[in-house]
């Protein structure tokens, strides 16, 4: 079915509610108290809370919640283009479209749906979409919440066109953090990355982790640890399938597991850039970091009838337990 609470516990809940614009949102809840909320506008996860009711995703206080603009926060879907690396609008059009609940999705291989509550969404091209991107596709998105609070997103893109097409993709994940200076990202060390601030020139990560510090501290420790002290916009290539985002102040680690997503995008606008973004507060860069499972450097090419799958699993655990 398009949405289901499996028989493992009848206290799991899935309901469809209206947001303040009258747009359907699907609310997933599990017995221990964790919840997630998915908007049919953009197929976007707009909330993910742990069993204590703490919000784990960042949403700007200045976010615009009125279509067709995507909300600044949560997990927007970037498809069929990431960033401005093509002829389409920034990050493609999927995040700005209305999706539908998929009541009869095809079977999903290797997905253990036990102890999960899930919803399946569907996006197909409109006539206007075909004018700017003339390819016929089916995009199926399954969002699941497990009893232990793990959030899973599985995207399937199928080519139902008569000719091949290519696309890039990202789960543009806004994580909520205590302070960006307290964040450490592990799993990207020694990787090559493309720096969007340097015309996508290729560099190699030199630090034992990606960290974010104030410019004053950077002057003192620049030679001891690799520090990012300004706007960060990087695409790490050929990344491992497990990345850890440590928040020292909250003593929390986000563990990101991915399949079919070779790249990781790390983005934080920092102070100057934040002031130029109308739907982001001037100081809100301190409370967020984007760490995206993505396909950017080498876009996916699908022949007629072929399907691509990209999966993301995110958990929030005590920082004493990480890779």
* Model confidence pLDDT, tens digit, residues 186-226: 999 999 999 988 888 999 998 889 988 754 333 333 333 34
The burial class, CB within 10 Å (0-12 / 13-18 / 19+), for 308 is middle
For 158-174, what is the mean pLDDT? 95
Task: Name which of 240, 300, 290 is nearest 265 in CA terms.
Answer: 290
> Per the annotation, does 10 bind a ligand?
no
Angstrom distances, CA of residue 81 to CA of 29, 106, 133, 274: 32, 25, 10, 23
The predicted structure's pLDDT at residue 224: 36
* Model confidence pLDDT, tens digit, residues 118-130: 999 999 998 888 9
> Per the annotation, does 72 bind a ligand?
yes
Q: Quick one: fold of 3-322?
A: Beta-galactosidase; Chain A, domain 5 (2.70.98)
Task: Name which of 285, 44, 322 is nearest 177 in CA terms.
Answer: 285
The tokens for 263 are 């790249």
* Model confidence pLDDT, tens digit, residues 230-279: 578 899 999 999 999 999 999 999 999 999 999 999 999 887 788 788 77
* Model confidence pLDDT, tens digit, residues 2-56: 554 443 344 568 899 888 778 899 999 999 999 999 999 999 999 999 999 999 9
What is the DSSP code string of 122-165? Answer: EE---HHHHHHS---EEEEEEEEEETT--EEEEEEEEE-SSS-E
The burial class, CB within 10 Å (0-12 / 13-18 / 19+), for 84 is exposed
The tokens for 166 are 């290519």
The predicted structure's pLDDT at residue 230: 58
pTM tops 0.85, yes or no: yes
End-to-end Cα, the chain, rounded Å: 36
> Per the annotation, does 158 bind a ligand?
no
The predicted structure's pLDDT at residue 288: 94
The predicted structure's pLDDT at residue 229: 44
Segment (H or E) for 204:
strand 201-204
Task: Name which of 246, 240, 173 is nearest 211 in CA terms.
Answer: 246
The tokens for 36 are 């997630």
Distance of alpha carbon 242 from alpha carbon 206, whole angstroms: 19
Distance of alpha carbon 151 from alpha carbon 270, whole angstroms: 27
């Amino acid at each position: 079915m398009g949405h289901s609470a499996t028989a493992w516990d009848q206290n799991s809940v899935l309901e469809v509610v209206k947001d303040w614009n009258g747009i359907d949102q699907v609310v997933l809840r599990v017995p221990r108290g964790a919840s997630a909320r998915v908007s049919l506008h953009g197929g976007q996860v707009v909330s993910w809370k742990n069993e204590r009711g703490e919000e784990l995703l960042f949403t700007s206080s200045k976010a615009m919640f009125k279509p067709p603009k995507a909300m600044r926060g949560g997990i927007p879907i970037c498809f069929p283009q990431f960033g401005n690396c093509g002829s389409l609008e920034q990050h493609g059009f999927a995040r700005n479209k209305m999706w539908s609940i998929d009541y009869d999705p095809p079977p999903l291989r290797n997905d253990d749906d036990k102890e999960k509550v899930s919803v399946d969404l569907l996006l197909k091209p409109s006539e206007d979409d075909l004018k700017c991107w003339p390819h016929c596709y089916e995009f199926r998105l399954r969002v699941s919440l497990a009893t232990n609070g793990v959030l899973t997103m599985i995207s399937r893109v199928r080519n139902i066109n008569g000719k091949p097409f290519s696309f890039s993709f990202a789960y543009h994940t806004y994580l909520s953090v205590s302070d960006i200076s307290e964040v450490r990202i592990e799993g990207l060390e020694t990787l090559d990355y493309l720096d969007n601030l340097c015309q996508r020139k290729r560099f190699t990560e030199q630090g034992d982790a990606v960290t974010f510090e104030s410019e004053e501290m950077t002057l003192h420790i620049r030679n001891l640890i690799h520090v990012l002290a300004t706007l960060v916009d990087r695409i790490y290539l050929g990344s491992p399938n497990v990345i850890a985002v440590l928040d020292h102040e909250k003593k929390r680690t986000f563990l990101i597991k991915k399949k079919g997503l070779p790249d990781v995008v790390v983005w934080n606008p920092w102070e100057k850039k934040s002031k130029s973004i109308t739907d982001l507060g001037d100081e809100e860069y301190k409370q967020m970091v984007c760490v995206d499972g993505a396909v950017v450097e080498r876009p996916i090419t699908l022949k007629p009838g072929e399907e691509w799958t990209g999966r993301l699993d995110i958990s929030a655990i005590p920082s004493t337990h990480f890779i």
